[in-house]
Amino acid sequence: MGGKKKPTLTQLARQLSRQAQKEAKRAKREKKVTSGEARTATARVIPPDPRDQNVIKQLQSMKVITPYTVASRFNILLSVAKDFLEDLHRQGVITYVSGGRSLKIYKPSGQ
């Protein structure tokens, strides 16, 4: 029946300016990622030492301990934080309070 209509000159100019803006945003975003992310990517997989007194003090100061709060406090991945909390629970540093399959809530053992 027919092909696609050709855009008018105004529509073509708008299209080109939008593409240029998208490319500028993408380049800016990539520049930010390469400057900061490269250093922290390797450290995010390694959890802190569970026997370190500074780590235990930080955990004791928290009223409620969830994987998200541990991940944000120690700058680690969420899955690593979940494993870290399970290890601390086995060692007796923290106590399991409540939770389900997706979220587990702990508290420090001293409280």
**Segment 16-64, tens digit of pLDDT:** 999 999 999 998 888 776 655 555 555 588 888 888 889 889 999 999 9
What does the alpha-carbon distance between residue 91 and residue 106 come to, in Å, rounded to a whole number?
A: 13
What would the CATH number be for the domain defined by 53-108? Answer: 1.10.10.10
pTM of the model: 0.59
The predicted structure's pLDDT at residue 32: 74
CB 48 within 8 A of CB 81: no
Residue 106 burial (CB < 10 Å; 0-12/13-18/19+)?
buried
